[in-house]
Amino acid sequence: MELVGEEKRIQALFSEARLADEQTAPSFAGVWNRAQAKTTRPQRAFNLSFVAATALLVCALVSLAWWVKHSQPRSEAVIATVPQINKGGSLSVPQPGVEPVSEPGFKPAPQSHRVGRSRSLKLVAQRETLLVAANQKAARDAKAIASWQSPTATLLESPSDALLKSMPQLNQSGDELKSFLPTKPK
């Protein structure tokens, strides 16, 4: 590129700047070695924000697992208290102390872990207690529902309820039948 006039002056100013920069430039070896030292330095495997985020995630997962584990027996108890409808259409509430009948092909798993046996037994007992309590409550509720009466039921009662609800017989006398009829004014 051929430079003329003012461009030469601009170039001269730039050349002056370049000379000054060359004088003040840091040594290549120094900069290179510092860069090399950074590569060999063991880098921190994690930073603070990453650790905080991970800890938060772990806490969330643990609390979720805990919640799932402890909310499961309650849901089972609720399922157990739901009255089952038999084939006849009648409601049957599971009675306390009655063991659920297992299916014919069902085989219990072999208990190989003896260490956790007592703990599992405790859990089973606790669960059964909860189940029994829930069943008793369900039975009481069912009885209460069966004997429930409307508070306004007495208002619907009348003296002729017995006659209206009964069917007149063929051999009943006419007089008796007439007694039902309203008396006509003469």
Partner 1 sequence: MDIAELKAELEVLHSASFGWAMNCCRRDRAEAEEVLQTVYLKILEGKACFRGEASLKTWLFAVIRKTAIGEHRKTILRKLRWSDSAEQERTLVSPLEQPGAAFEKSETQALFQTALKSLPRRQREALHLVFYQDLSLSEAAVVMGISIGSARQHYDRGKKRLREFLGQTEIAYGTGWRGKENPGAV
How many residues bind partner 1 (CB under 8 A)? The answer is 32
Q: Which residues have C-beta within 8 Å of that of residue 94, sequence separation ≥ 6?
A: 80, 81, 84, 100, 131, 135, 138
Closest CA to 142 of 92, 96, 98: 92
Minimum Å gap between C-beta 21 and partner 1 is 5
Minimum Å gap between C-beta 56 and partner 1 is 22
90 contacts 146 by C-beta, under 8 angstroms: no
Minimum Å gap between C-beta 53 and partner 1 is 19
Q: For partner 1, give the closer residue by CB, 20 or 85.
A: 20
Q: For partner 1, give the closer residue by CB, 1 or 109.
A: 1
- Measured at the CA of 27, the angle between CA 21 and CA 32, to 5 degrees, comes to 125
Q: How many CA atoms lie within 13 A of 172 on its CB side?
A: 13
Which tokens belong to 168? 């007149």
- 186 makes contact with partner 1 (CB under 8 A): no
Which tokens belong to 171? 């051999």
- 4 makes contact with partner 1 (CB under 8 A): yes
Binding mask of the shown chain, residues 151 to 170, with x at each position contacting partner 1 by CB under 8 A: --------------------
Sites for partner 1 among residues 90-129 (CB under 8 A): none
| Measured distance CA(182)–CA(63) in Å, rounded | 78
Q: For partner 1, give the closer residue by CB, 40 or 160.
A: 40
Long-range contacts of 138-147 (CB under 8 A, 24+ apart): 138/81, 138/82, 138/83, 138/93, 138/94, 139/93, 139/95, 142/83, 142/91, 142/93
Which position among 1, 48, 146, 155 is part of the footprint of partner 1 (CB under 8 A)? 1
Binding mask of the shown chain, residues 11 to 50, with x at each position contacting partner 1 by CB under 8 A: xxxxxxxx-xxxxxxx-x--xx-xxx-xx-----------
Q: For partner 1, give the closer residue by CB, 32 or 67.
A: 32
Which residue ranges make up the site for partner 1 (CB under 8 A)? 1-7, 9-18, 20-26, 28, 31-32, 34-36, 38-39
